Amino acid sequence: MVDAGSGTKDQFHRANANLDTIDLIALSHLHPDHSAELPAILWTAGGSFYLSGPTPAGVFPSIENFLDSMFGPGGAFRILADRIDLEVFTVDTAAANPVDVWREGNILVRGTGVPHGDVPTIGYRIDFPDVSIAFTSDQNGSNPSFIDFIQGVDYLVIHLASSEDATGFIAELHAKPSVWGQMATAADVGHVIVSHISTSSPQALEESLTILRSNYSGALTVGEDLMCFELN
């Protein structure tokens, strides 16, 4: 599971997925819309998990402190303490190179820091023997080394949270549609999946997609709730 934003638990079930099948919970960053559902997921699933998250900075705690604040001895959800067993891995978001986060059989998950304002944030790439998928996470697209990280992926899940004419805070944290398109083209991505769509205006979304498509000519799917992909 990559990220655990609000609503994730119920939607996971509605998509006919099973929480019991989760081995790895890979958090990109600790903004609530990416992490706030974690207690409900763990409460329902129980068991052992490998959990990865970012290094601390500013108002953002370490992943250990984040978990302790909920599941530790004084934590708000300490009722879960004897129900879950977490093995925690911290991805140094300031490191120059990607790191291996998790490996099981011939599945390899790697992570790397991505520029999301002052928020420590991880982008993930998952390589199976015959197919690969990467998650940009929230980021502004300003680090060219991320293109190397996602080079040649079959599927790239992008977070479309900024319009082309955004300014200030939004633009500092989130890549514009043209930037996503240029990134996907430069990395020779097979299929872009647009997620984390911040606008509720169909017209504004279409404008952003038009700009994205003018910078990227490959396959593109606009994600919707409960959408499933067979990776092949």
Residues in the site for Zn ion, rule: CB under 5 A? 31, 138
Which CB sits closer to Zn ion, 74 or 168?
Answer: 168
* CB of residue 31 to Zn ion, shortest distance in Å: 4
The answer to whether 59 touches 30, Cβ cutoff 8 Å, is no
Which CB sits closer to Zn ion, 27 or 212?
Answer: 27
* CB of residue 44 to Zn ion, shortest distance in Å: 24
Which CB sits closer to Zn ion, 37 or 138?
Answer: 138
Which CB sits closer to Zn ion, 38 or 84?
Answer: 38
Which CB sits closer to Zn ion, 169 or 200?
Answer: 169
Which CB sits closer to Zn ion, 9 or 159?
Answer: 159
* CB of residue 210 to Zn ion, shortest distance in Å: 25
* CB of residue 25 to Zn ion, shortest distance in Å: 17
Tokens at 11, concatenated:
């939607």
* CB of residue 29 to Zn ion, shortest distance in Å: 6
* CB of residue 116 to Zn ion, shortest distance in Å: 6
> Smallest Cα–Cα separation from 17: which of 40, 37, 39, 45?
45
Q: How many CB atoms lie within 10 A of CB 97?
A: 11
